[in-house]
A and B are shown apart, each in its own frame.
Chain A
Amino acid sequence: MISRTRHQLEFIGELVSLTFQTLKASLSRPFYWLRLLEQIVELGQRSLSITIVIGFIMGLVMTLQFGYGLAKFGGTLYVPAIVSLSLIREMAPIFTSLLVAGRIGSGIAAEIGAMNVTQQIDAIRALGTSPVRVLVVPRMVAAMLTLPLLGILATFVGIIGGAIIARSEFDIAYGFYVNKVLATIQLHDVFSCYIKCMFFAFIITLFACWRGFNTKEGTRGVGEAATWVVVRSSIVILISDFFLSKALILLFD
């Protein structure tokens, strides 16, 4: 029990240390702009199509469920407001982040883990450079810039999906749907989506990079690192979502 607690405290301590190292490296020279650009393209390219699909499906399903649910109480006309608000505040940030955790987080852990077991991380240090600066900073900054945009995109595509179902299933006109959405979503809702996605991006890359740096046992360890990141970061994303939602509601509502 004591050993387990000690292990957990060490883990938290190492995450905090990595956060400070990353912050320090982000704010000092040299900054690897080209690597950042590569990571943004990589992250965006690998997540774009799946984000669109997920966002669209979310919009379809939520509109269908809310539409039939609210129809029982004569509340069908509230569907655009409820769907759009749910999407931007909760569903889009959460689903996009879980998706990125699965796709990008595991990729980062596997890549850095493979570099670690093949002594490439040691080589970065031996050549007089910092692995945090070279590997962590570009990935973390790229994720924190890109994931919010993917979250907004997922919301936008979800609203389109919702409008199509609202028209076909509940006979809600496109114009009415769009007006209701625009009247419901406030700037602070967009901001909430942005903040959540940025925080989740930070969690995913922090966990992925830490696990990559601590990968042992060759290729087996690399596989385990990828799985570990998906599980741990998904749990932390879901738990922290509750507290973030509460904080953002207190702040804006």
Chain B
Amino acid sequence: MEEILRVKNLKKTFGEKTIHHAINFTLHKSETIGLLGNSGTGKSVLLRCLIGLETMDDGEVWLGKERIDLLKEEAMFKIRTRISYAFQSGALFDSLNVYENIAYPLREHLKLTHKEEEARVSEMLKLVRIGESGELFPSDLSGGMQKRAGLARAMVLYPEIILYDEPTAGLDPVNVENVLEIMRAFKAKGTAGIFVTHDIIAAKKVCDRLLIVDSGRIVFEGTVKQFEESTNDIVKNFQSTH
């Protein structure tokens, strides 16, 4: 399988505190990997480092054959059309309605006609099953709907990779299933994903591989089956507590 993202020896510190010592992993085309770990292990920080929302102290991030960790903020704008970020809360813009939120990246990066834009936004709204909510503002939506609208906005440019930052956190089982279904639909369209979560059950349902972060390092990397059969103490401990 074609490798589209490679992270080499990523190191991140906040002041004296080292969050990540040396993170290494790869992501392949159309693959979804689950990044698991306890709260406070820096999973979200890792995602933010990958698209330059957070600066890293050392290491390399390669998108295909392009090294992206050295790029300046303005050069990263183009990269962020290829790797998108689905925020935990949705992070929808309060002042725009759902339609405008989803259309925002299109208006910024593509010169679409009004009809083309409408078709693309409608496609996304249907995909995340909030087809009737385009005119509503974020404050009118439930938490689950806000997350789904956020997912639609992350997908609207058809990125190569989506970074999912705890998209199922705080949702009831029905909404968790809805979000996972959306992630599967994105995957079916050929989009790779990195799914940050501490929900093992959810991760097993959509991920091809699982990675466990502990004490600033990846302590396990393998398929769901390998994860279930692992004799690694940290993995077993993680399985028993989650």
Contact = CB atoms under 8 A, between A and B. Distances in A.
B224 to A, nearest CB: 29
A120 interface: yes
Nearest to A24: B74
Interface string A118-136: 1110110111111000000
A114 B139 CA distance: 14
B77 A128 contact: yes
B91 A123 contact: yes
Interface string B77-110: 1111100110111011110000000001100110
A129 B77 CA distance: 6
Contact of A119 (B76, B91, B105, B109): B91
| Contact size range, B | 20 to 34
B43 interface: no
Interface residues of A, number: 14
Nearest to B101: A123
Contacts of A125: 53, 73, 80
B53 A128 contact: no
A122 B87 contact: yes
B170 to A, nearest CB: 15
Given A127-B105, A128-B108, A122 B53 contact: yes
A10 to B, nearest CB: 15
B51 A127 contact: no
A127 B86 CA distance: 10
A126 B89 contact: no
B153 interface: yes
A128 B89 contact: no
A129 B108 contact: yes
B77 A123 contact: no
Contacts of A82: none
Nearest to A129: B108
Contacts of A30: 108
7 contacts: A120-B92, A122-B48, A123-B91, A126-B53, A128-B80, A129-B108, A130-B77
Interface of A: 30, 114-115, 118-120, 122-123, 125-130
6 smallest beta-carbon distances between A and B, as pairs: A123-B91, A128-B80, A119-B91, A126-B85, A128-B77, A127-B105
Interface of B: 48, 51, 53, 73-74, 76-81, 84-85, 87-89, 91-94, 104-105, 108-109, 153
